[in-house]
């Protein structure tokens, strides 16, 4: 019997090495000491047991058969059978006919040599692990900005309803496009061009976006679009005007580029560049179709004012239009990009809200002189959607199924917004309900004696993803209030969820009085 099972020089046989290459790493690194007083089956048990406890062999990992492992270790098959049997009896493994032997959840046992909680990131126990590596300040701010995209809890903000995704038509297109890509029939350039043409045609009609197909840059999502714009347009110290309120991930993206941010207050007509203070901006961020979280739509006059401000300072405009397809009330106005005569607007459109977050496909429309730079950078940082996804989405748009789908879900979400607003007015009489022009959320004004931050924290503990209104403001402190989502809540559960929120509000008010 060999002292060491793994031999770099291959002297333990080509067959054993062949098996070892196919094994999980923790199994492939098993060594057997023939001169040890510990029986070989116990040596195998100890190694596998520790690998399971430390997470090197995750729950559900399929282990090699006893014959395969015995051949790889150059030991008798009965030795491996004995080791497996013991670990099954201890609860570390489970075995089913025709499904093999797999790792089970490790039981709690005082006899273990270590636990995942007791080990450092390297997997080695240490009495003095040294100072912990900490997340940087900017990283912490960025992580905070991701908290309100909550798809798993009631009132999840910006969360669409998964039951409304176009599963059947889009699923067929995805399967067909994926199959063709595996056969080499769907190259990336063809998929890219087809997506560009479909997007340019659809959004010219739907939003008045005026562009050639080549100006459309496929992008994985809103965060990727902001990051791409910041990388290419901003240097440290550049001034950026950001409409206020705005999603906090917007400010996080521009801060990460070293920009100085200045709030641009919003009123009932949208963001007002005349009310902003600061030096001439390099970039102006607006969402004219639907401001988050106020739900206000920018007026036609204010859109012209934003363009004039950009022209006066030589600034670019980042026009975020992610909810363009989900407007329920208000005017149907052309995108700012459609009235831009000087090539200053970067227009971002999203497909996440209509097709679901699993379809990581959106787009940026950029001025002609920026096409090459944005295309190259998008590929360089890896924020371009998969080719088969682009092909499938293009097919959905070309067949007119996308337009029909948008019409269907717009009606469904509009009815749900009304139901949510009416339920809140009935069960939360102490709040003031503000309905947006579109999107998946509404706002609740709270009495001054209720702490919105405390309510949001208490709601999170009970599975409700509400958010304090103040999180989205950088300038003047807003009225006391909450932002709640309605997109992913089935109609039948709305009343239950609102009653739970009402209970939290009553408890918070009682604590304030006490």
Give per-residue pLDDT as tens, 185-221.
667 888 999 999 999 999 999 899 999 999 999 999 8
Q: What band does 89 get if pLDDT is binned at 50, 70 and 90?
A: confident
Q: How far apart are CA 403 and CA 421, in angstroms?
A: 27
What is the arithmetic mean of pLDDT over 344-364? Answer: 91
Same structural domain for residues 408 and 377? no
Instruction: Examine residue 127 and state whether it is found in any structural domain, yes or no.
Output: no
Q: How far apart are CA 414 and CA 328, in angstroms?
A: 6
Same structural domain for residues 335 and 216? yes
Continuous H helices in 160-221:
167-182, 188-207
Residue at token pair 């918070």: 508
Would you state the pLDDT for residue 9? 38
Are 499 and 427 in contact, with CB atoms under 8 Å apart? yes
Instruction: Examine residue 302 and state whether it is found in any structural domain, yes or no.
Output: yes
Same structural domain for residues 357 and 483? no
Name 362's bridge partners. Answer: 219, 350
Q: What band does 150 get if pLDDT is binned at 50, 70 and 90?
A: low
Minimum mean pLDDT range among 56-70, 356-370, 396-410: 56-70
State which H helix or E strand residue 243 sits in: strand 239-244
What is the arithmetic mean of pLDDT over 468-472? Answer: 91
Are 128 and 120 in contact, with CB atoms under 8 Å apart? no
Same structural domain for residues 154 and 201? no
Q: What band does 74 get if pLDDT is binned at 50, 70 and 90?
A: confident
Q: What band does 316 get if pLDDT is binned at 50, 70 and 90?
A: very high
If phi > 0 it is left, if psi is from -120 to 50 it is alpha, else beta; for residue 74 that is left
Q: What band does 375 get if pLDDT is binned at 50, 70 and 90?
A: very high
Name 433's bridge partners. Answer: 444
Same structural domain for residues 421 and 398? no
Q: How many CB atoms lie within 10 A of CB 133?
A: 6
Instruction: Examine residue 37 and state whether it is found in any structural domain, yes or no.
Output: yes
Domain count, the chain: 3
Instruction: Examine residue 393 and state whether it is found in any structural domain, yes or no.
Output: yes
What is the arithmetic mean of pLDDT over 81-104? Answer: 85
If phi > 0 it is left, if psi is from -120 to 50 it is alpha, else beta; for residue 108 that is beta
User: Both tokens of residue 446?
Assistant: 């709270």
Would you state the pLDDT for residue 125? 43
* Structural domain boundaries enclosing 458: 146-160+404-513
Same structural domain for residues 182 and 262? yes
Buried b (16+ CB within 10 A) or exposed e, 224-256: bbbbbbbbbbbeeebbbbbbbbbbbbbbbbbbb
Q: Is the pLDDT of residue 140 over 60?
A: yes
Q: Could you tell me the CATH number of the domain that includes residue 155?
A: 3.90.1150.10
Instruction: Examine residue 3 and state whether it is found in any structural domain, yes or no.
Output: no
Same structural domain for residues 101 and 188? no
Would you state the pLDDT for residue 179? 87
Same structural domain for residues 467 and 497? yes
Same structural domain for residues 173 and 305? yes
Provide the whole-model pTM. 0.75
Instruction: Examine residue 278 and state whether it is found in any structural domain, yes or no.
Output: yes
Same structural domain for residues 361 and 252? yes
Averaging pLDDT over each range in 7-11, 241-245, 477-481, which range is the top one?
241-245
Would you state the pLDDT for residue 29? 80
Average of per-residue pLDDT values in the chain: 85
- Establish how many alpha carbons lie within 13 A of residue 476's alpha carbon, considering only the half-sphere containing its beta carbon: 11
Residue at token pair 């400010």: 251
Minimum mean pLDDT range among 40-44, 198-202, 388-392, 510-514: 510-514
Would you state the pLDDT for residue 477? 77
Minimum mean pLDDT range among 4-8, 19-23, 171-175: 4-8
User: Both tokens of residue 381?
Assistant: 């940082």
Annotate 180-193 with DSSP letters as a single string.
Answer: HHHTT-S-HHHHHH
Same structural domain for residues 210 and 101? no
Q: Could you tell me the CATH number of the domain that includes residue 83?
A: 1.10.10.10
Instruction: Examine residue 67 and state whether it is found in any structural domain, yes or no.
Output: yes
- Give per-residue pLDDT as tens, 11-40: 444 455 555 566 778 888 888 888 888 888
φ/ψ of residue 55, rounded to 5: 90, 0
Q: Could you tell me the CATH number of the domain that includes residue 182?
A: 3.40.640.10
Do β-strands 441-445 and 100-103 pair in parallel, antiparallel, or remain unpaired? Answer: unpaired
Instruction: Examine residue 139 and state whether it is found in any structural domain, yes or no.
Output: no
Same structural domain for residues 277 and 378? yes
Q: Is the pLDDT of residue 114 over 70?
A: no
What is the arithmetic mean of pLDDT over 210-236? Answer: 94
């Amino acid at each position: 019997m060999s002292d060491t099972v793994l031999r770099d020089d291959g002297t333990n046989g080509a067959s054993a090495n062949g098996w070892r290459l196919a094994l999980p790493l923790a199994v492939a690194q098993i060594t057997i000491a023939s001169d040890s007083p510990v029986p070989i089956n116990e040596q195998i048990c100890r190694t596998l047991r520790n690998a399971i406890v430390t997470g090197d062999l995750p729950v559900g990992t399929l282990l090699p058969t006893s014959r395969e492992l015995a051949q790889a270790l150059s030991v008798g098959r009965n030795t491996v059978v004995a080791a497996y049997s013991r670990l099954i009896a201890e609860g570390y493994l489970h075995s089913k006919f025709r499904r093999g032997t797999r790792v089970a959840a490790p039981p709690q046992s005082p006899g273990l040599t270590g636990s995942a909680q007791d080990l450092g990131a390297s997997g080695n126990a240490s009495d003095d692990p040294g100072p912990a590596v900490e997340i940087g300040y900017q990283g912490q701010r960025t992580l905070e900005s991701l908290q309100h995209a909550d798809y798993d809890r009631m009132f999840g903000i910006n969360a669409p309803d998964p039951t409304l995704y176009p599963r059947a038509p889009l699923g067929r297109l995805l399967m067909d496009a994926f199959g063709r890509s595996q056969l080499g029939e769907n190259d990336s350039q063809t998929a890219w061009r087809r997506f560009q043409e479909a997007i340019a045609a659809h959004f010219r009609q739907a939003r008045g976006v005026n562009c050639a197909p080549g100006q459309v840059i496929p992008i994985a999502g809103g965060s990727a679009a902001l990051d791409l714009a910041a990388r290419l347009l901003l240097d440290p110290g550049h001034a950026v005007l950001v409409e206020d309120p705005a999603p906090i991930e917007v400010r996080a993206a521009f801060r990460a580029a070293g920009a100085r941010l200045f709030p641009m207050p919003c009123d009932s007509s949208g963001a007002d560049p005349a009310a902003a203070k600061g030096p001439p901006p390099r970039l102006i961020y607006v969402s004219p179709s639907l401001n988050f979280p106020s739900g206000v739509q920018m007026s036609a006059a204010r859109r012209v004012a934003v363009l004039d401000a950009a022209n006066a300072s030589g600034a670019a405009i980042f026009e975020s239009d992610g909810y363009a397809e989900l407007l329920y009330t208000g005017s149907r106005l052309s995108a700012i990009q459609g009235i831009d005569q000087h090539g200053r607007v970067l227009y971002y459109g999203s497909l996440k809200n209509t097709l679901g977050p699993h379809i990581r496909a959106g787009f940026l429309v950029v001025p002609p002189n920026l096409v090459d730079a944005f295309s190259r950078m998008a590929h360089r940082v890896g924020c371009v959607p998969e080719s088969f996804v682009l092909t499938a989405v293009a097919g959905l748009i070309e067949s007119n199924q996308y337009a029909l789908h948008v019409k269907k879900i717009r009606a469904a979400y509009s009815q749900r917004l009304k139901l949510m607003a009416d339920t809140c007015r009935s069960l939360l009489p102490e709040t003031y309900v503000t309905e947006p022009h579109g999107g998946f959320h509404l706002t609740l004004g709270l009495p001054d004696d209720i702490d919105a931050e405390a309510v949001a924290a208490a709601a999170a503990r009970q599975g409700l993803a509400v958010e304090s209104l103040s999180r989205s403001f950088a300038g003047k402190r807003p009225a006391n209030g909450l932002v709640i989502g309605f997109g992913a809540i089935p109609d039948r559960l709305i009343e239950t969820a609102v009653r739970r929120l009402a209970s939290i509000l009553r408890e918070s008010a009682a604590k304030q009085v006490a």
